[in-house]
Amino acid sequence: MELFKKGDKIGKYTVNSFIKKGAVAESYTVYGSDDMLYFCKVFDMGNMGSSLLFEGKEVFEIVFCKELSEDANDNVVRYVDNGGFHKGNKDYHYLVTEFYQGELLDHSVEKDGVFDMEDAVQITLCVLNGLRYMHSKALLHNDITPSNIMLKELEDGMLLPTIIDLGHVSTMVLGRPNFFLGDLAPFFRAPETFRGIFTPKSDVFSVGALLYFLLFGKAPWEVDLTECGDDKNMIKAKVREARKEALVLDTEEVHLPDFLKEILKKALSLRVVSRFSSADAFFDTLVERLTPENGVGEEAVGTGNGFDQVAGRDELKEQLRKEVIFALQHPDKAKLYHLPPVNGILLYGPPGCGKSLVAESFANELGFTYMVLKGSEFGNIYQPGALDNLQRIIDAATLKAPFVLVIDEIEYLIPNTGTENITKESVATLSLMSNCSEKGILLVATSNQPDQLDPFLMRPGCIDRIFFVSQPDFEARKEIFKKHLTDRPCEEIDYDELARLSEDFVAGDITETVNEAAMTAAYMDVPISQKILVDVLKYKNPTYSTKTKIGFNK
DSSP assignments along 210-269, one per residue: HHHHHHHSS-TT----GGGTT-HHHHHHHHHHHTTSPPP-B-SS-B--HHHHHHHHHHT-
pLDDT at 405 over 90: yes
- Most confident among 114-123, 488-497, 534-543 (mean pLDDT): 488-497
Judge if 351 and 318 occupy the same domain. yes
- Domains identified in the chain, total number: 4
Average pLDDT of the chain, as a whole number:
89
What's residue 31's pLDDT? 96
pLDDT at 322 over 70: yes
Judge if 333 and 435 occupy the same domain. yes
What's residue 549's pLDDT? 37
What's residue 351's pLDDT? 83
User: pLDDT tens digits for 278-308?
Assistant: 999 999 999 888 766 544 667 788 888 889 8
* Boundary-marking domain end, from 418, 447, 468: 468
* Boundary-marking domain end, from 232, 258, 290: 290
What is the radius of gyration, based on Cα positions, of the chain? Answer: 32
Judge if 329 and 366 occupy the same domain. yes
Query: How far is 79 from 58, CA to CA, in rounded Å?
Result: 15
More confident residue, 178 or 394: 394
409: helix, strand or coil: coil
| Residue 193 domain flag | yes
Q: At how many degrees (to 10) do helices 279-290 and 200-216 cross?
A: 40
What's residue 317's pLDDT? 92
- For residue 486, give its domain range: 474-539
CA dihedral 375, 378, 383, 387 (to 10 degrees): -90
Judge if 392 and 303 occupy the same domain. yes
pLDDT at 552 over 70: no
User: pLDDT tens digits for 14-37?
Assistant: 999 998 887 788 999 999 999 999
CATH number for the domain that contains residue 73: 3.30.200.20
Judge if 234 and 258 occupy the same domain. yes
pLDDT at 102 over 90: no
More confident residue, 311 or 108: 108
- Most confident among 406-410, 434-438, 455-459 (mean pLDDT): 406-410
AA letter at 363: A
Share of residues in the chain with pLDDT > 70 (%): 97
50: Cα within 13 Å, side-chain hemisphere: 2
Query: How far is 196 from 182, CA to CA, in rounded Å?
Result: 12
Query: How far is 203 from 129, CA to CA, in rounded Å?
Result: 12
User: pLDDT tens digits for 235-271?
Assistant: 999 999 999 999 999 998 888 888 899 999 999 999 9
* β-bridge partners, 447: 348
* Boundary-marking domain end, from 433, 452, 468: 468
Judge if 449 and 478 occupy the same domain. no
The residue-averaged pLDDT of 121-126 equals: 93
Sheet holding 369-374, edge to edge: 299-301, 369-374, 403-408, 441-447, 344-348, 465-468
What's residue 546's pLDDT? 60
Judge if 254 and 334 occupy the same domain. no
What's residue 297's pLDDT? 67
Judge if 37 and 166 occupy the same domain. no
More confident residue, 51 or 254: 254
Query: How far is 436 from 454, CA to CA, in rounded Å?
Result: 18
Q: Is the CB of residue 435 less than 8 Å from the CB of residue 462?
A: no
CATH number for the domain that contains residue 318: 3.40.50.300
Q: Phi, psi at residue 338, to the nearest 5°?
A: 55, 45
- Most confident among 235-244, 370-379, 457-466, 500-509 (mean pLDDT): 235-244
Measured in whole angstroms, how far is the alpha carbon of residue 163 from the centre of its chain? 21
CATH number for the domain that contains residue 479: 1.10.8.60
Judge if 120 and 19 occupy the same domain. no
| Residue 1 domain flag | no
User: pLDDT tens digits for 502-551?
Assistant: 998 988 899 999 999 999 999 999 999 999 999 999 988 888 766 533 34
The residue-averaged pLDDT of 91-115 equals: 92
Judge if 199 and 280 occupy the same domain. yes
| Residue 487 domain flag | yes
pLDDT at 176 over 60: yes
What's residue 514's pLDDT? 95
